[in-house]
Structure 1
Amino acid sequence: MKRTFLLFTITLTVFGCKNPKKDNSKLNVVTTTTMITDLVKNIGGDHINLQGLMGSGVDPHLYKASEGDVSKLANADIIFYNGLHLEGKLVEVFEKMKNKKTIAIADALDKSTLIGSEYFASNFDPHIWFNIEYWKQATQFVVKTLTDAIPEQKETFKTNGNNYIKQLDALKNKLETVIETLPREKRILVTAHDAFNYFGKAFNFEVVGLQGLSTATEAGVQDVQNLSAFIIEHQVKAIFVESSVPKRTIEALQASVKSKDHDVTIGGTLYSDALGDAGTIEGTYIGMFEYNVNTIVNALK
């Protein structure tokens, strides 16, 4: 507890003393989740120094800033984060950065269109990257933010943004074609936590998570029993592990279903709150989304 308080105090002190960048060197940009890091990289390219705090398999709901992160944040000119309390452990730090340019990607969206929850602190589902149309809006938001910071690169950022939006449109069309091969009655997605509601809404899946919107909440015995009954009633063929959530939660669900003389397979591991390893196809937003959909459809057919 003392160490956490000291780190927090040091963080605020450093941020309070840091002067805005006034030279012509590259803009220092820090991002939180891997999805945002990939997005900003596509727009900023070589015109920014980009550092992401979180890596593959990291759960942003539970993430705490390390001493190394303090240094990155202290030297940042712009910090992009998701918002909607996704980065729950970092919110207090961000709120204290009065003289830092902290940008919540969720601010690009009309909150009246978001999925609400009476059980989650923000009252909104924070997993906005699973709606491709939202990610297109986020792209335009990042373009504007970087353009405001580096006006001389306006055309470059605009071109990069337009090109990326074209890639997102192509992705959406490709995914729709794949999903159409799966009958509507089989489009039931059961995962470790409620990360895929925007995906379900966009592509007509019924989505059920064992845990709630945040992995900070844990599933109880009754949750497992209720969901196992749901799986049996709806003859769900496969359930899915998430890369950023311990596998044991889904394994417990599978065991519960089998104890009731019904078989359900683990259809694979989905990327939910983080992308795959850097340098792989799944380490990009587009590659992650395509991998997820292929995994879901193939397992549920």
Structure 2
Amino acid sequence: MSKRSFIAAALALATALPAGLAAAETRLNVVATTGMIADAARNVGGDLVEVRALMGAGVDPHAYRQTRTDIVATTNADLVLWNGLYLEAQMEGFLLDLAQDHHVVPVAEVLPENLLIGSEDYEGQFDPHVWMNPNLWSRVVLNIRNAMIDAEPEGEAVFRANAEAYLEELNGLASYTANVLSSVPAESRILLTSHDAFNYFGNAYGFEVVGIQGISTESEAGLQRIAELVNLLIERDIRAVFVETTVSDRNIRALAEGARAAGHDVVIGGELYSDAMGEPGTYEGTYIGMIDSNATTIAAALGGQTPAQGMQGLLN
């Protein structure tokens, strides 16, 4: 079956399904591509929405392709939220087609261009990893709120109140993150990870960010790139590098082994959440938990002062 025939058949199936199978009748049926967007949608929508994330923990959005189930879910949804900025590169054509007759919103694409970072991988594109800066992500939350109001005007008062409360939480996250990362010595503020997912983080908190791969995980890292970074570790006396939950740790471990073979002691400083949150039902399975975990892990590994259990420990 051709791709066009497959999508057509799935859409036909979706329209034949009873609406009650998609969500409770009294709730706005929202489908989000990533967990970060879904988490924001749940916080803003509260009891008025039923939210489903297409991509779970450990899933790489750069390489993700829609499944038959995804096509059914998005077609039945009252509102589809996706990041845009070419994050969901393999799904973009499908989502743009769906937007012709469905309520489909790329929530990061309306951010002012002066706040975005250009992509080195794709000419004319921007770095899509805007959630790495809580202050920038707060703007995306407002876009999610507005999309919900457009889709369900009767819920406007609730959506606005919930968004205001959630933005206060994000303000607290931003303050904690800035404070804990400021404790890292200036000469140690070099973040080396699997791919360039942390550029907004670096801009916000004064860290030099180095990725083995580019902004997209579809790019490849060769032996020459590994050799260059081994030299960088030695020359800059970098003592910790980081793996990511959505990217194979093969390159990072090869880098660390290469540095050790050259007589430079370097450790894996921890696991960072880059393109996906942690497992559902865990603290790290929320956006706040994701960013808290990243900031605390990075600060601890690079010589900063961190409270036990990060921001969560301070609140408990």
Aligned-residue offset at 1:239: 0.2
Aligned-residue offset at 1:6: 3.9
Q: State the alpha-carbon separation in 1 of the partners of residues 83 and 172 from structure 2.
A: 24
> Where do residues 127-138 of structure 1 align in structure 2 (5 Å cutoff)?
127-138=129-140
Aligned-residue offset at 1:107: 2.5
Q: State the alpha-carbon separation in 1 of the partners of residues 191 and 55 from structure 2.
A: 26
| 3-state SS of paired residue (1:107) | coil
Q: State the alpha-carbon separation in 1 of the partners of residues 174 and 158 from structure 2.
A: 24
1:213 aligns with 2:212: no
Q: Percent identity?
A: 41
Q: State the alpha-carbon separation in 1 of the partners of residues 267 and 290 from structure 2.
A: 22
| 3-state SS of paired residue (1:261) | coil
Q: State the alpha-carbon separation in 1 of the partners of residues 215 and 14 from structure 2.
A: 31
Q: State the alpha-carbon separation in 2 of the partners of residues 108 and 285 from structure 1.
A: 20
| Shift >6 Å, 4+ stretches | 14-18
Letter in 2 for 1:38: D
> Where do residues 106-185 of structure 1 align in structure 2 (5 Å cutoff)?
106-121=108-123, 123-185=125-187
Partner of 2:68: 67
Letter in 1 for 2:70: D
RMSD: 2.2
Partner of 2:278: 276
Quick check: 1:35–1:275 contact (8 Å CA) kept in 2? yes
Aligned-residue offset at 1:9: 3.6
Partner of 1:43: 44
Q: Deviations over 1:221-267 (max 9, x none)?
A: 11111111111111011000000001112111111112211111001
Q: Deviations over 1:110-140 (max 9, x none)?
A: 0232110243255210101012121111111
Q: State the alpha-carbon separation in 2 of the partners of residues 193 and 83 from structure 1.
A: 19
Q: State the alpha-carbon separation in 1 of the partners of residues 74 and 124 from structure 2.
A: 24
Q: State the alpha-carbon separation in 2 of the partners of residues 5 and 263 from structure 1.
A: 53
Aligned-residue offset at 1:24: 6.5
Quick check: 1:228–1:257 contact (8 Å CA) kept in 2? yes
| 3-state SS of paired residue (2:211) | strand
| 3-state SS of paired residue (1:228) | helix
Q: State the alpha-carbon separation in 2 of the partners of residues 286 and 138 from structure 1.
A: 14
Quick check: 2:14–2:72 contact (8 Å CA) kept in 1? no
Q: Deviations over 1:14-37 (max 9, x none)?
A: 68999x99x963221100011101
Aligned-residue offset at 1:11: 4.5
Aligned-residue offset at 1:7: 2.8
Q: 1:112 to 1:180 in 2, by over 3 A?
A: closer
Matched positions, count: 299
Q: Deviations over 1:68-107 (max 9, x none)?
A: 1121112111110000110111001012111011100113
Q: 1:231 to 1:292 in 2, by over 3 A?
A: same
Quick check: 1:14–1:74 contact (8 Å CA) kept in 2? no
Partner of 1:291: 293
Normalised to the residue count of structure 2, the TM-score between the two structures is: 0.89
| 3-state SS of paired residue (1:258) | helix
Gaps of 5+ in 2: 304-316
Partner of 1:248: 250
Q: State the alpha-carbon separation in 1 of the partners of residues 94 and 159 from structure 2.
A: 29
Q: State the alpha-carbon separation in 2 of the partners of residues 122 and 29 from structure 1.
A: 30
Partner of 1:231: 233
Q: 1:276 to 1:214 in 2, by over 3 A?
A: same
Q: State the alpha-carbon separation in 1 of the partners of residues 5 and 255 from structure 2.
A: 41
Partner of 2:310: none
Greater alpha carbon shift after TM alignment, 55-64 vs 247-256: 247-256
Q: State the alpha-carbon separation in 2 of the partners of residues 125 and 261 from structure 1.
A: 35
Quick check: 1:147–1:153 contact (8 Å CA) kept in 2? yes
Partner of 1:7: 6
Partner of 1:199: 201
Aligned-residue offset at 1:8: 3.2
Letter in 1 for 2:31: V
Greater alpha carbon shift after TM alignment, 208-217 vs 129-138: 129-138
